[in-house]
Amino acid sequence: MSTTITPAAAPAGFTAKDLVTDQDIRWCPGCGDYSILKQAQTVIPELGIPRENIVFISGIGCSSRFPYYMETFGMHSIHGRATAVASGLKATRPELSVWIITGDGDALSIGGNHFIHMLRRNFNVNVLLFNNQIYGLTKGQYSPTSEEGKITKSTPYGSLDHPFNPIALAMGADGTYIARSMDRDPVHLKDTLRKANAHKGTSFVEIYQNCNVFNDGAFEIFTEKSSKKIETLMVENGKPFIFGANNEKGIKLDGFKPVIVDLTDGNSANDLWVHDETDRVKAGILSRFFDNPAKEGHFPRPFGVFYKEERNCYEDDLNQQVADVLAKRGEGNLDALLRGREVWEIK
Amino acid sequence: MENGSLDAFKVIKVDVTKLTRAALEGSGLGTKEMDRSKNMFVLGLCYWMYNRELKNSIKFLEEKFAKAPNILDSNVKLLKAGYAYGETTEAIETRYQINPAPMKAGVYRNIMGNQALAIGLVAASKQSGLPIFYGTYPITPASDILHELSKHKNFGVRTFQAEDEIAAICSAIGASFGGCLGVTASSGPGIALKGEAMGLAVMLELPLVIINVQRGGPSTGLPTKTEQSDLLQAMHGRNGEAPLPIIAACSPADCFNAALEACRIAVEYMTPVMLLSDGYIANGAEPWQFPQTADLPKITATFITEKNGGDKFLPYKRDENLSRPWAIPGTKSLEHRIGGLEKEHETGNINYENENHQFMVRMREAKVNKVADSIPLQKMDNGNEKGKLLVIGWGSTYGAIKMAVIQARAKGYDVSHAQVRYMNPFPKNLGEILYGFEKILVPEMNTGQFLSMLRSKYLVPAEGLNKIKGIPFSSVEIMEKIESMIA
Ligand code: SF4
């Protein structure tokens, strides 16, 4: 299936090479993070943003080393708090292009609170969540996105936690741009990043990222050529849901119930569910395509933009309010403030 | 009453009728009779406000209504309900501050501590040219700073009610990274939550002001009562060696100066600064001989705009204050990364080498200690710089100590008083002053935190007077201790 490429804006006078820092990259060889870094470094020079106006803020985890490898402004903050740090920066410097780099532990476990509040406030930032379904930096404990029963260092008898579905969580928190991509599909990832940047509001991109050391192959079924077409659903606005090795399957809606149909069986492509990324109800249904691929009759895992909505951004409203008060009351007079309403004199 | 004519007062709205009726539900009294006893509810509330006991009034009621148990019951019930209302609704926090000395000639206004803090922040913004970003989460007794600041948007103040205490401080750090003056405030429990982020600010070496309006602890403790028990938390309440300058306000009006000074140090030394207030001064009021803008000190804030290391930008290269350059996003060719990991001297690159770590720990400590170069020497509030007994306090004990020492000196005792504002680093001459006295008394509303700091730094046999009852000292209590030590 072809992917529509979002056209690049006027280049900003620097190239991917100019985004490489002098720091040695510390990720394990073969880690999915490399690909994400590369795609980001490729896309960013196309966006028309001066390099000095770009800020990468991360929390803690393997992915959070990302800013050290990006020759922009950056902050490697503390665990789970990148979203909170970014909120203060964006609130006061709305003209900056702010990118948050986080992981499944960072955003969904220790930083879960800030993550949902960022989404509801809708700061105009991009949140890239590298989901590897494991704690890599601390060497292999299960994460809030690990599947139930996962055997890890901290769960020798299997994990008991029910995993988060990050897309559904973002839907529930009223995110205004919700997408999923993967490290192994550079074209799709680059396109998703471009779209995320073009969206005004909190653009949330969940990126399936392979941790080849502690959770190798977690997303293999979605990323490998042999199974990708069968197990994934590449969604595109205005296009019907079609998948399968030879595009022979489709998904239609029977009321609110999605049904997989065989297109070789007399079913017409015209009856299929056509993706409308602005339809909140349908996006909600789509976000629940989250079955374990081992389950009989499971739905394919969707990739692409699930949902998109225009809504006011917090920083715009904040600065507008300041401007309105200024217009109404005039610039503050410190002497009047110091004096207060009532004074008296002692002689 | 809602036309603004009460703006000069602290107005607490209480729906007495509704609360009275609710308290008497099921008493068998009619609505009219219930409403008639509203006065008892209000009386109970007043008793709470002024820290009076209910005992005498209950006894009085028992005698008066001995033959009407129904009326007695409802009156006592209301008296207690009013008192309990004061205790549970953290909305009410009025205490009284008495100015012990005759006042200098001049023009005065009334001011409360939290209000003075807020105005001080606005003034610091004006004097530094840096917009204030105030990230906070509501908590008693610090919320009034937010209420006050949020009124002053026409001074360019941006207030942000974050989702929690951690987001509050982190958002302020983000704002400081962007070139604003980030400020956050809380009380003990919230400050505990901010600990890790304070450490981050120490590592990032960005300006940040953290206000702690202390209350009774530990844990939720006594939210509406005062205490000075977070001094050592301010000193040490972070992981690792994470020193930061600490300033303590000593009265409601002094909160203004303390806020200005905290901002100055934060900006000039690129460091988080802790400002300590407490419930007593936060909600206490006093006459204030307010300054004019023209008399306020200037705060120098500079953003670096060019590379400082040949063809390289060195984000941790230090000036004569040991302060690093502030390079804000949007500045061409100064792109750089900072973070919580240990960094190499000057380059700011991640560095785990042993020698470098010790060097950097010492460097951050030296920078904080260097603040002592720019603060005034410790002055005596009353009495000589040498003598028999020094009463030395910090923060809100000021009024009570001042009064006690005035009285003691009137009685002819050789007593002096010093009130310390700079809790870290101490003024350079503090040791000298301590060594000039035979005895030293340290009254404080904790079990002896300032005392232990003085003892360990200066090895002096100072003695503590400690009150941990949620209420301030009376001068009589201090006077008695003075007499027992000196007579
Ligand atoms: S531990 Fe896993 S996620 Fe971390 S760098 Fe290595 S491969 Fe990547």
Mean predicted lDDT score pLDDT of chain B: 94
Dihedral (CA of A250, A253, A257, A263) sign: negative
Give mean pLDDT, residues B315-321. Answer: 97
Using 50, 70 and 90 to split pLDDT, how confident is the model at A6?
A: low
Strand stretches in A209-275, DSSP E: 232-234, 242-243, 249-254, 257-262
How crowded is the C-beta side of B69, counted as CA atoms within 13 Å? 0
CA angle B121, B125, B131 (to 5 degrees): 115
ipTM surpasses 0.90? yes
Q: What pLDDT shows up at residue A5?
A: 52
CB-CB contact of B107 with B409 (8 Å): no
**Rounded Cα–Cα distance for residues B452 and B429 (Å):** 18
Residue A93: list chain B partners with CB under 8 A.
178-179, 328-330
Domains plus CATH for chain A?
A: 16-218 (3.40.50.970)
**Rounded Cα–Cα distance for residues B465 and B477 (Å):** 9
Cα(A99) to ligand 1 centroid in Å equals: 21
Give mean pLDDT, residues A309-335. Answer: 97
Residue A118: list chain B partners with CB under 8 A.
none
Cα-flanking dihedrals φ and ψ of residue B40, to 5°?
A: -70, -35
Q: Where are the domains of chain B?
A: 16-88, 109-295, 387-486
Dump pLDDT digits (tens) for B333-345: 999 999 999 999 9
Give mean pLDDT, residues B219-230. Answer: 96
Quote the tokens at residue B465. Answer: 């007077």
CB-CB contact of B171 with B160 (8 Å): yes
CB-defined contacts A:B, below 8 A? 200
Residue B166: list chain A partners with CB under 8 A.
81, 84, 114
* Peptide linkage before A240 cis (omega within 30 of 0): no
Q: What pLDDT shows up at residue B25?
A: 87
Q: What pLDDT shows up at residue B94?
A: 53
Q: Give the length of chain B.
A: 487
Give mean pLDDT, residues A133-148. Answer: 96
Dump pLDDT digits (tens) for B120-161: 999 999 999 999 999 999 999 999 999 999 999 999 999 999
Q: Is the pLDDT score of B3 beyond 80?
A: no
- CA–CA min distance A136, chain B (Å): 18
**B152 at the A interface (CB within 8 A)?**
yes
Q: How far is CA A71 from the centre of its chain?
A: 21
Q: What pLDDT shows up at residue B87?
A: 78
CB-CB contact of B468 with B229 (8 Å): yes
Q: Is the pLDDT score of B188 beyond 60?
A: yes
Q: Is the pLDDT score of B262 beyond 50?
A: yes
Dump pLDDT digits (tens) for B82-130: 888 887 776 555 554 555 567 899 999 999 999 999 999 999 999 999 9
Closest residue by Cα to atom 3, ligand 1, is A211
State which fold the B387-486 domain adopts. Answer: Rossmann fold (3.40.50)
Give mean pLDDT, residues A119-137. Answer: 97
**DSSP type of residue B341:** S
Residue B204: list chain A partners with CB under 8 A.
75
Closest among B200, B272, B205, B279 to B234, alpha carbons compared? B272
Using 50, 70 and 90 to split pLDDT, how confident is the model at B30?
A: confident
DSSP of A172-187, one letter per residue? HTT-SEEEEEETT-HH
**Rounded Cα–Cα distance for residues B191 and B168 (Å):** 11
Strands A73-76 and A97-103 turn out to be unpaired
- Could you give the dihedral angle defined by the CA atoms of residues B409, B413, B414 and B420, in that order, rounded to the nearest 10 degrees? -50
**B292 at the A interface (CB within 8 A)?**
yes
Comparing alpha-carbon positions, the chain B residue that sits nearest to A49 is B330
Q: Is the CB of A33 under 6 A from ligand 1?
A: yes
Common-topology check for domains B109-295 and B387-486: yes
Closest among B249, B209, B208 to B226, alpha carbons compared? B249
Q: Is B236 exposed, middle or buried, given 0-12, 13-18 or 19+ CB atoms closer than 10 A?
A: exposed
Dump pLDDT digits (tens) for A37-63: 999 999 999 999 999 999 999 999 999
Using 50, 70 and 90 to split pLDDT, how confident is the model at A1?
A: very low
Which is the closest atom of ligand 1 to the Cα of A62? 4
Give mean pLDDT, residues B185-204. Answer: 98
Residue B64's SS3 state is helix
Which is the closest atom of ligand 1 to the Cα of A61? 4
Sheet containing B285-288: which strands, arranged edge to edge?
A343-346, B106-112, B285-288
Q: How many CB atoms lie within 10 A of CB B2?
A: 7
> Which positions ≥6 away from A237 have C-beta within 8 Å?
A275, A276, A277, A305
Given an 8 Å threshold on Cβ–Cβ distance, is A85 in contact with B106?
Answer: no
Cα(A141) to ligand 1 centroid in Å equals: 12
Given an 8 Å threshold on Cβ–Cβ distance, is B174 in contact with A347?
Answer: no
Give mean pLDDT, residues A228-246. Answer: 98
Which residues between 90 and 149 in chain B have a beta carbon less than 8 angstroms from any beta carbon of chain A?
A: 103-111, 119, 122-123, 126, 131, 133, 135
Q: What pLDDT shows up at residue A158?
A: 97
Which class is domain B109-295?
A: alpha beta
CB-CB contact of A19 with A54 (8 Å): no
CB crowding B320-347: b at 16 or more within 10 Å, else e: eebbbbbbbbbbeebbbbbbbeebbeeb
Alpha helices by DSSP H, chain A: 33-43, 82-92, 104-105, 112-121, 166-172, 186-198, 220-223, 225-231, 280-287, 314-329, 334-339
**Residue with structure tokens 């000036």?**
B319
Cα-flanking dihedrals φ and ψ of residue A270, to 5°?
A: -70, -20
**Rounded Cα–Cα distance for residues B96 and B251 (Å):** 12
> Which positions ≥6 away from A69 have C-beta within 8 Å?
A20, A21, A23, A25, A37
Give mean pLDDT, residues A326-343. Answer: 96
Given an 8 Å threshold on Cβ–Cβ distance, is A71 in contact with B335?
Answer: yes
Q: Is the pLDDT score of A107 beyond 50?
A: yes
**Rounded Cα–Cα distance for residues B457 and A233 (Å):** 68
Look at B402 and B69; give whichever has higher pLDDT. Answer: B402
- CA–CA min distance B95, chain A (Å): 20
**Rounded Cα–Cα distance for residues B129 and B363 (Å):** 28
Q: Give the length of chain A.
A: 347
Residue A155's SS3 state is strand
Given an 8 Å threshold on Cβ–Cβ distance, is B336 in contact with A74?
Answer: yes
Quote the tokens at residue B188. Answer: 């003990």
Residue B124: list chain A partners with CB under 8 A.
none
Q: Is the CB of A136 under 6 A from ligand 1?
A: yes
Q: Is the pLDDT score of B439 beyond 80?
A: yes
Quote the tokens at residue A225. Answer: 């050529």
Closest among A226, A192, A196 to A208, alpha carbons compared? A192
Dihedral (CA of B232, B234, B237, B241) sign: negative
From A211, A215, A219, give the residue whose CB has the most ligand 1 atoms within 8 Å, as the site to mutate: A211
Using 50, 70 and 90 to split pLDDT, how confident is the model at A150?
A: very high
Cα(A128) to ligand 1 centroid in Å equals: 16
Cα(A209) to ligand 1 centroid in Å equals: 9
Its pTM stands at: 0.91
Q: How large a percentage of chain A has pLDDT more than 70?
A: 97
Using 50, 70 and 90 to split pLDDT, how confident is the model at A2?
A: very low
Give mean pLDDT, residues A231-250. Answer: 97
Using 50, 70 and 90 to split pLDDT, how confident is the model at A4?
A: very low
From A130, A207, A213, A215, give the residue whose CB has the most ligand 1 atoms within 8 Å, as the site to mutate: A213
Mean predicted lDDT score pLDDT of chain A: 95
Q: What pLDDT shows up at residue A279?
A: 98
Q: Is the CB of A62 under 6 A from ligand 1?
A: yes
Q: Is the CB of A31 under 6 A from ligand 1?
A: yes
Q: What pLDDT shows up at residue A10?
A: 56
Closest residue by Cα to atom 8, ligand 1, is A31
Give mean pLDDT, residues B358-362. Answer: 98
φ/ψ region of A330 (left if φ > 0, alpha if ψ in -120 to 50, else beta) reads: left
DSSP of A95-107, one letter per residue? TSEEEEEEEHHII
Cα(A212) to ligand 1 centroid in Å equals: 7
Q: What pLDDT shows up at residue A78?
A: 98
Using 50, 70 and 90 to split pLDDT, how confident is the model at A320?
A: very high
Using 50, 70 and 90 to split pLDDT, how confident is the model at A262?
A: very high
